[in-house]
Structure 1
Amino acid sequence: MEGRVFVIGLGLIGGSLALSIKAEHRKAIIIGYDINEEQARLAKMMGVIDECTSSIEEGAKEADLIIISTPVTVAEGIIELLAQIPLKCGVIVTDTGSTKTTITEKATCLYEKGVCFIGGHPMAGSHKSGITASKKILFENAFYLFTPTSAIEPEKIEVLKSWLKGTNAKFLTVSPEEHDYLTGVISHFPHVIAASLVHQAAAAEERSSLVGRLAAGGFRDITRIASSSPTMWRDILLHNRNVLLDLLLEWKDEMQRVITLLESNDGSGIFQYFDKAKKFRDGLPTKEKGAIPAFYDLFVDVPDYPGSISEITGYLAKEQINITNIRILETREDVYGVLVISFQNEDDRTRADQCIQLYTSFETSMG
Structure 2
Amino acid sequence: MNTTKIAIFGVGLIGGSLALCFKDKPGITVVGHAHRPDLMDKYISREVVDKATLSIEEAACDADFIFLCVPVGKLEEYLEKLSVLPLKKGCIITDVGSTKASISASAEALALKDVYFIGGHPMAGSERSGVEAASVLLFENAYYVLCPSSNVPDEAMGSLERLLSFTRAQIVKVEPKLHDEIVGAISHLPHVIAVALVNQVCDLNESNSLYRRLAAGGFRDITRIASSDPIIWRDILLNNNEVMLRLLRDWNLGISSFIEMLTTSNGEGIEAAFQKANAFRNELPEGRKGMIAPLFDLYLNVPDHPGIIGKIATELGSEQINLSNIQIIESREDVPGVMRLSFRQEEDMEHARIVLQELQYTVFI
TM-score by length of 1: 0.94
Q: State the shift of 1:330 in Å.
A: 2.2
Q: State the shift of 1:301 in Å.
A: 2.2
Alignment partners' CA distance in 2, 1:291 and 1:190: 11
Q: State the shift of 1:88 in Å.
A: 0.5
Give the match for residue 268 of structure 1.
268
Q: State the shift of 1:273 in Å.
A: 1.3
Map Cα deviations across residues 175-209 of structure 1 (whole Å, 9 max, x no partner).
11011011101000000000000111112113422
| AA of the residue aligned to 1:19 | L
Q: State the shift of 1:6 in Å.
A: 0.5
Taking the TM superposition and a 5 Å limit, the aligned residue runs for 1:211-360 are: 211-330=211-330, 338-359=338-359
Give the match for residue 9 of structure 1.
10
Contact preservation (8 Å) 2:23, 2:50:
no
For structure 2, the residue ranges without an aligned partner over 5 or more in a row are none
| AA of the residue aligned to 1:364 | V
Q: State the shift of 1:109 in Å.
A: 4.8
Alignment partners' CA distance in 2, 1:133 and 1:202: 30
Give the match for residue 364 of structure 1.
363
Q: State the shift of 1:284 in Å.
A: 1.4
Q: State the shift of 1:326 in Å.
A: 2.3
| AA of the residue aligned to 1:362 | Y
> Is the partner of 1:146 in helix, strand or coil?
strand
Give the match for residue 182 of structure 2.
182
Moved over 6 A (4+): none
Alignment partners' CA distance in 1, 2:261 and 2:54: 61
Contact preservation (8 Å) 1:141, 1:170:
yes
For structure 1, the residue ranges without an aligned partner over 5 or more in a row are none
Contact preservation (8 Å) 2:125, 2:290:
no
| AA of the residue aligned to 2:270 | I
Q: Does 1:113 align with 2:113?
A: yes
| AA of the residue aligned to 2:22 | I
Q: State the shift of 1:338 in Å.
A: 2.2
Taking the TM superposition and a 5 Å limit, the aligned residue runs for 1:125-140 are: 125-140=125-140
Task: Out of 322-331 and 207-216, give the one that drifted further.
Answer: 322-331
> Is the partner of 1:341 in helix, strand or coil?
strand
Alignment partners' CA distance in 2, 1:270 and 1:105: 43
| AA of the residue aligned to 1:279 | A
Q: State the shift of 1:40 in Å.
A: 2.0
Relative distance call for 1:90 and 1:142 in structure 2 (3 A) is same
Alignment partners' CA distance in 2, 1:172 and 1:37: 36
> Is the partner of 2:286 in helix, strand or coil?
coil
Taking the TM superposition and a 5 Å limit, the aligned residue runs for 1:8-47 are: 8-23=9-24, 25-47=25-47
The CA RMSD measured in Å over matched residues stands at: 1.7
Contact preservation (8 Å) 1:331, 1:337:
no
Alignment partners' CA distance in 2, 1:180 and 1:331: 37
> Is the partner of 1:164 in helix, strand or coil?
helix
Contact preservation (8 Å) 2:337, 2:364:
no
Task: Out of 232-241 and 291-300, give the one that drifted further.
Answer: 291-300
Q: State the shift of 1:337 in Å.
A: 7.1
Task: Out of 75-84 and 299-308, give the one that drifted further.
Answer: 299-308
> Is the partner of 1:94 in helix, strand or coil?
strand
Relative distance call for 1:297 and 1:14 in structure 2 (3 A) is same
Q: How many residues align?
A: 361
Give the match for residue 82 of structure 2.
82
Contact preservation (8 Å) 2:96, 2:121:
yes
Q: State the shift of 1:291 in Å.
A: 2.1
